[in-house]
């Protein structure tokens, strides 16, 4: 079969498909006869409905199915014959000037582009590293202690201090008028932990139970509540309760409560260090991977298929709607989400996907079975029952596909870092963890 391929644009192509009309008609008639054996209609016994009645009721839908099937197969055969890598779904349109006895269609589609990756040796990539220090271990143990802290009511004569949990009533007004979200009763927060604006935190320090005070508070210009952002309010606060926090001692009971059988401080520090090193490794990998991907975008030359970008925009829009549903947003399915919102990110994703695929193909960077197993086992170590997590991954194709994608990206990152001009940088632990 000779296939004539027209080039309409850089990636856009068109081919004409022809199908014998009599073959289509025979296929339609055959499917209607099969349908007549089981279809039910008033006034007829099952299997005894006349073909004319079946055709009248189902003829259009059956013909549509047959046309879809035959045109789809014809397009696939033509694309294979012409050795075309089709990107996205073709647009099929009937042609009026078909030869006698034939049905003709124009299939317009895009093909995958040629991907040219420049010389990686001239590309500068920043590679970060982070050390898990004793200070980081101390800080993590302190967090574990705070997670298990208790609170005890302070004597009435003592004022509220840093770290105390206070219960207050408050009301804020702007220009003498109350505003939405500016009033609460029995509100609890811990002083100094960033739950409230710093001015609010400072105002309640030193207050005693039963005291009230009024103070001004200037909302930041970038405050999340846009209706009050940049404005100054007057707050009236009444102290109802003050509770001092008590952190557990780092003793054998505390260590064992964390699932560490040895019960010693040394065992706790070693366990914390292992967990932090695992977390640091994943975060460093993510940062270095992002730097590599940025470099690849700059050095690669290719045309991006519009069909793939549109499909990615649709996926991102669907994910956004799903997120809205989980947040309890009413009528999330009908919420207006402009496609332009995702266009730049979708194009970058498609571009990177094509570049990564080319690198994988050209340099055999596919994920090996032992890499997949090692990655799953490493991730599983963060959980209480690693063996169950490993089985959870291995038992689902979709989850395994996600693991494979991560491993391939890691392989690509390692390959690029091995070729590029690498600039090493040490990032402090706190900076990495809060980024």
Q: What is the pLDDT of residues 73-108, one digit of tens each?
A: 999 999 999 999 999 999 999 888 878 888 888 999
Residue 132 falls inside a structural domain: no
**Mean pLDDT throughout 252-276?**
93
Q: What is the CATH number of the domain that holds 10?
A: 3.30.70.1050
**Residue 157: which of 242, 266, 99 has the closest Cα?**
242
Assess whether pLDDT exceeds 90 at residue 208. yes
Indicate whether 206 belongs to any domain.
yes
In eight-state DSSP terms, residue 87 is: E
* Residue 109 Cα distances to 14, 40, 106, 139, angstroms: 6, 41, 10, 57
Tens digit of pLDDT for each residue in 108-126?
A: 999 999 999 989 998 999 9
| pTM of the model as a whole | 0.75
Query: Is residue 337 domain-shared with residue 292, that is, in the same domain?
Result: yes
Assess whether 221 and 280 both reside in one domain: no
CATH number for the domain including 190? Answer: 3.10.50.40
293 and 423 fall within a common domain: yes
Q: What is d(CA 293, CA 274) in angstroms, rounded to the nearest whole number?
A: 28
d(CA 308, CA 395): 30
| Percent of the chain surpassing pLDDT 90 | 71
pLDDT over 70 at 386, yes or no: yes
Task: Calculate mean pLDDT across residues 423-427.
Answer: 95
How many domains is the chain partitioned into structurally?
3
**CATH code of 378's domain:** 1.10.3120
Q: Does residue 119 form part of some domain?
A: no
pLDDT tens across 292-306, in order?
A: 999 999 999 999 999
Determine, yes or no, domain membership for 417: yes
pLDDT in tens, 318-359: 888 888 888 887 877 887 888 889 999 999 999 999 999 999
Cβ pair 356, 409 in contact under 8 A? yes
Q: What is the pLDDT of residue 2?
A: 63
Both 361 and 424 in one domain: the answer is yes
Number of Cα atoms under 13 Å in the Cβ half of residue 327: 10
48 with 154, same domain? no
Confirm whether 234 is domain-assigned: yes
CA gap 344, 110 in Å, rounded = 20
Do the strands 124-129 and 421-426 form a parallel or antiparallel pair, or are they unpaired? parallel
Whether residue 194 sits in one domain with residue 268:
no
- Is 118 a member of any domain? no
**Does 272 lie in the same domain as 418?**
yes
State whether 315 and 206 are in the same domain: no
Residue scoring higher pLDDT (332 or 420): 420
Task: Judge if 304 and 226 occupy the same domain.
Answer: no
DSSP label of 316 = H
- Residue-by-residue DSSP string for 150-214: EEEEPPTTSPP-TT-EEEEEEEEEETTEEEEEEEEEEEEEETTSSSS-HHHHHHHTT--TT-EEE
| Domain stop point among 215, 246, 277 | 246
Residue where a domain terminates, one of 246, 276, 308: 246
| Pair 39, 86 in one domain | yes
Q: Any idea which of 46-50, 156-160, 163-167 has the lowest mean pLDDT? A: 46-50
Same domain (yes/no): 172, 91? no
pLDDT the model gives residue 29: 85
Domain enclosing residue 209, as ranges? 150-246
Confidence class of residue 211 from pLDDT cuts 50, 70 and 90?
Answer: very high
Structure tokens at 269: 């520090």
Of the candidates 38, 56, 55, 34, the one whose C-alpha atom is nearest the C-alpha of residue 47 is 38
Is residue 241 domain-resident? yes
| In a shared domain, residues 339 and 408 | yes
Q: What is the mean pLDDT of the chain?
A: 91
Residue that finishes a domain, picked among 204, 225, 246: 246
Torsion from C-alpha of 367, 373, 375, 378, nearest 10 degrees: -170
Q: Is residue 219 part of a domain?
A: yes
């Amino acid at each position: 079969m000779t296939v004539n391929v027209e080039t309409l644009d850089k990636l856009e192509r068109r081919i004409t498909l022809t199908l014998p009309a009599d073959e289509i008609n025979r296929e339609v008639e055959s499917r209607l006869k099969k349908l007549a054996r089981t279809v039910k209609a008033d006034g007829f016994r099952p299997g005894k409905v006349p073909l004319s009645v079946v055709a009248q009721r189902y003829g259009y839908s059956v013909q549509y199915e047959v046309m879809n099937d035959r045109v789809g197969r014809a397009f696939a055969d033509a694309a294979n014959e012409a050795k075309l890598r089709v990107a996205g779904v073709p647009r099929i349109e009937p042609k009026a000037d078909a030869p006698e006895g034939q049905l003709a269609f124009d299939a317009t589609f895009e093909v995958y582009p040629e991907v040219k990756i420049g010389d990686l040796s001239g590309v500068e990539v920043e590679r970060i590293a982070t050390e898990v220090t004793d200070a980081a271990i101390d800080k993590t143990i302190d967090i574990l202690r705070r997670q298990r802290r208790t609170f005890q009511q302070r004597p009435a004569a003592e004022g509220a201090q840093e770290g105390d949990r206070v219960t207050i009533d408050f009301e804020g007004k702007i220009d003498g008028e109350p505003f939405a979200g500016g009033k609460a009763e029995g509100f609890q927060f811990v002083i100094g932990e960033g739950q409230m604006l710093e001015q609010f935190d400072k105002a309640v320090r030193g207050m005693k139970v039963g005291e009230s005070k009024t103070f001004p508070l200037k909302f930041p210009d970038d405050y999340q509540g846009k209706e009050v952002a940049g404005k100054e309010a007057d707050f009236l606060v009444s102290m109802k309760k003050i509770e001092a926090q008590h952190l557990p001692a780092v003793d054998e009971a505390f260590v064992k409560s964390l699932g560490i059988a040895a019960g010693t401080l040394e065992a706790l520090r070693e366990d914390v260090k292992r967990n932090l090193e695992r977390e640091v490794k994943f975060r460093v990998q993510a940062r270095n991977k992002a730097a590599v991907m940025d470099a690849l975008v700059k050095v690669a030359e290719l045309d991006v298929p519009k069909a793939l970008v549109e499909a990615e925009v649709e996926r991102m829009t669907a994910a956004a709607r799903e997120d809205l549903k989980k947040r309890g947003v009413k009528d999330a399915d009908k919420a207006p989400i402009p496609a332009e919102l995702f266009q730049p990110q979708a194009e970058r994703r498609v571009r990177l996907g094509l570049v990564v695929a080319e690198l994988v193909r050209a340099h055999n960077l596919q994920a090996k079975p032992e890499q997949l197993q090692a990655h799953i086992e490493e991730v599983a170590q963060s959980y209480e029952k690693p063996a169950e997590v490993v089985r959870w991954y291995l038992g689902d194709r979709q989850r395994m596909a996600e693991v494979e994608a991560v491993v391939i990206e890691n392989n690509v990152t390692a390959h690029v870092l091995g070729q590029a001009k690498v600039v090493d940088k040490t990032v402090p632990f706190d900076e990495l963890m809060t980024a």
